[in-house]
Amino acid sequence: MTFLASTLVGNTLVASAATVALGMAGIGFSLAFIRLVRGPSLPDRVVSLDLLGTLSVGIIAAYDIMTDQPILLDAATVMALVAFLGTVAFAHYVERKGQDG
């Protein structure tokens, strides 16, 4: 609670919406992580890793609004790039090595 009070900037409507959005995105992140751990095949894990990267872009954006620091958008840009390149590279790996590579 002190963390929230120290980071919020007075606007309670946007702040509570950011809290709700971060909570929902965090639950989605946890579910994707569970799928990453117990996904039966390698492509399942690649898909959930891609979702983790995409969700982290959204979480960075919500945290951006929550703390009023637009500079974090650069981190979101890099995160989107890395998620895409990682997915494409893993797809090439899967196609070459097979399912249990």
Partner 1 sequence: MAEIATAILMVIGGAFMLLAGIGIFRMPDLFMRMQAATKAATLGIGCMLLAVAIHFQDVSVATRALLVTAFVFMTAPVAAHVIARAAYSVGVPLWEGTLRDELGEKQRGGEGKGKESAGGGSAYGGSSLRSDGDGQ
Q: Which residues bind partner 1 (CB under 8 A)?
A: 11, 13-14, 16-18, 20-25, 27-32, 34-35, 41, 43-44, 46-48, 50-51, 54-55, 57-58, 61-62, 64-65, 70, 73-74, 76-77, 80-81, 83-84, 87-88, 90-92, 94-96, 98-99
Given a contact cutoff of 8 angstroms between Cβ atoms, the answer to whether 94 and 42 are in contact is: yes
The 3-state secondary structure of 7-70 reads HCCCCHHHHHHHHHHHHHHHHHHHHHHHHHHHCCCHHHHHHHHHHHHHHHHHHHHHHHHHHCCH
| Cβ 34 to partner 1 shortest distance, Å | 6
Q: Which is nearer to partner 1, 6 or 96 (CB)?
A: 96
Chain centroid to CA 26? 8
Helix (H, G, I), strand (E, B) or coil at 75: helix
| Cβ 42 to partner 1 shortest distance, Å | 8
| Cβ 59 to partner 1 shortest distance, Å | 8
Q: Which is nearer to partner 1, 6 or 12 (CB)?
A: 12
